[in-house]
């Protein structure tokens, strides 16, 4: 509607539409290895460090506790006549004090980690950097990811390209149901929710090829809600945006409406132009939410099946 007209570029986007049709192309993900313990940016580093620190703090208590349990069970086995039998011993103020103190002290320690970590790694908090962050708007759809670069006026599907060494400020919403935006090697994840905008700051320190996914179940095509993530040198990023400006269709309202329909295994696509206000229109639900399942036949009483549900 108004959003797309104001873009001033009315292209039908037929080529892009063809690409959205149900292609059973398996999404090839380069560089699949690398999980949350192999981060490539400051947020992921801190996440992993806190995970490891908290584990170590607790292992200090957990390992001796398990050993003590097995030692005492074995030492006081019924067949061991050398061990003393104290059939009425059931209270010791000192031991009570210690057994309450150990977990309390551990949790106080962990509590410090919790408070400091929650503030330092608040997803809404901008990352310290000399360069201003790159703005990326994320829309989760059934069952693909739309990335809008408002400053560059381009958009992509299932492909996220970011400049290495520069923070990225994500603003996220959903065009359909709940999803979670998660790039394991970059760190923190966050929910995408219809009618709401969440924020996330991430950064890749070096060029890398990795992957992202939805971490919240969203329906039949959920398993393929993965996307390529490419962190590239700033010069290469500029070249990529230039290239994207010149190819692909325009993401106007009819194209978005087509994109919002349920489909899965969409190959990466770029759009050469997009209205920078599209994201806000989706988030404010001025554009109606995605249609959900459109059953081909009405013959399955109570068992309506989506295209992704039985496409194999």
Q: Minimal distance in Å, beta carbon 157 to other proteins?
A: 17
Relative to beta strand 208-214, strand 269-274 is unpaired
Q: Minimal distance in Å, beta carbon 67 to other proteins?
A: 10
Relative to beta strand 179-183, strand 187-192 is antiparallel
Report residue 103 as tokens: 């977990």
List binders of other proteins among 189-218 (CB under 8 A): 189-191, 193-196, 198-199, 211, 213-218
Q: Minimal distance in Å, beta carbon 91 to other proteins?
A: 6
Q: Which one, 102 or 296, has the nearer CB to other proteins?
A: 102
Q: Does 257 bind other proteins (CB under 8 A)?
A: no
Q: Does 137 bind other proteins (CB under 8 A)?
A: no
Q: Which one, 12 or 112, has the nearer CB to other proteins?
A: 112
Decide: helix, strand or coil at residue 8.
coil
Which residues, 6+ apart, have CB-to-CB distance to 247 below 8 Å? 270, 272
List binders of other proteins among 53-92 (CB under 8 A): 54-55, 58-59, 61-62, 65-66, 68-70, 72-73, 76-78, 83-92
Q: Does 1 bind other proteins (CB under 8 A)?
A: no
Report residue 256 as tokens: 């978005």
Instruction: Enumerate the β-bridge partners of residue 147.
Output: 138, 156
Q: Minimal distance in Å, beta carbon 293 to other proteins?
A: 6
Options 1-9, 13-21, 223-231, 249-257: segment touching other proteins (CB under 8 A): 223-231
Give the total of residues touching other proteins (CB under 8 A): 116
DSSP string, 199-263: EEEE--SS-EEEEEEE-S--STTGGG-EEEEEEE-HHHHHHHHHHHHHSSEEE-HHHHHHHHSS-
Residues, the chain, total? Answer: 312
Q: Does 121 bind other proteins (CB under 8 A)?
A: yes
Options 128-136, 220-228, 238-246, 252-260: segment touching other proteins (CB under 8 A): 220-228
**What is the C-alpha R_g of the chain?**
26
| Residue of the chain from 122, 126, 132, 151 that contacts other proteins (CB under 8 A) | 122
Options 25-33, 126-134, 159-167, 247-255: segment touching other proteins (CB under 8 A): 25-33
Decide: helix, strand or coil at residue 310.
helix
Q: Does 29 bind other proteins (CB under 8 A)?
A: yes
DSSP string, 273-284: EE-TTHHHHHHT
Q: Which one, 117 or 248, has the nearer CB to other proteins?
A: 117
- ∠ CA 115-216-155, nearest 5°, is 100
List binders of other proteins among 141-200 (CB under 8 A): 176-178, 180, 182, 184-185, 187-191, 193-196, 198-199
Element (H, E) at 182: strand 179-183
Burial class (CB in 10 A: 0-12, 13-18, 19+), 267: middle
Q: Which one, 11 or 179, has the nearer CB to other proteins?
A: 179
Q: Does 19 bind other proteins (CB under 8 A)?
A: no
Q: Which one, 236 or 304, has the nearer CB to other proteins?
A: 304
DSSP string, 23-40: -------SS----TTS--
List binders of other proteins among 271-310 (CB under 8 A): 285, 289, 291-293, 295, 299-306, 308-310
For residues 184 and 213, what is the distance between their CA atoms, to the nearest angstrom?
A: 8
Q: Minimal distance in Å, beta carbon 207 to other proteins?
A: 20
């Amino acid at each position: 509607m108004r959003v797309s007209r104001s873009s001033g570029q009315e292209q039908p986007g037929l080529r892009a539409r063809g690409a959205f049709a149900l292609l059973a192309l398996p999404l090839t993900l380069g560089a699949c290895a690398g999980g949350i313990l192999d981060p490539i940016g400051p947020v992921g580093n801190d996440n992993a460090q806190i995970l490891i620190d908290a584990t170590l703090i607790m292992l200090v208590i957990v390992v001796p506790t398990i050993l003590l349990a097995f030692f005492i069970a074995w030492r006081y086995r019924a067949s061991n006549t050398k061990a003393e039998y104290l059939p009425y011993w059931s209270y010791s103020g000192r031991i009570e004090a210690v057994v309450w103190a150990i977990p309390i002290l551990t949790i106080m320690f962990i509590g410090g980690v919790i408070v400091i970590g929650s503030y330092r790694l608040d997803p809404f908090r901008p990352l310290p950097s000399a360069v201003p962050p790159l703005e990326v708007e994320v829309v989760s759809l059934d069952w693909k990811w739309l990335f809008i670069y408002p400053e560059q006026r381009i958009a992509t599907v299932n492909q996220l390209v970011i400049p290495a060494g520069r923070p990225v400020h994500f603003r996220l919403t959903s065009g359909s149901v709940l999803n979670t935006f998660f790039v394991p090697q970059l760190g923190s994840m966050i929910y995408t929710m219809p009618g709401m905008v969440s924020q996330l700051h991430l950064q890749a320190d070096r060029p890398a090829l990795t992957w992202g996914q939805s971490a919240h179940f969203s329906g039949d095509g959920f398993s393929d809600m993965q996307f390529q993530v490419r962190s590239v040198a700033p010069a290469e990023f500029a070249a990529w945006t230039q290239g994207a400006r010149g190819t692909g269709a325009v993401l106007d309202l009819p194209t978005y409406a087509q994109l919002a329909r349920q489909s899965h295994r969409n190959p990466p696509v770029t759009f050469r132009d997009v209205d920078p206000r599209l994201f806000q229109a989706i988030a404010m639900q001025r554009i109606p939410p995605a249609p959900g399942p459109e059953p081909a036949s009405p013959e399955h009483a109570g068992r309506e099946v989506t295209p992704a549900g039985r496409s194999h």
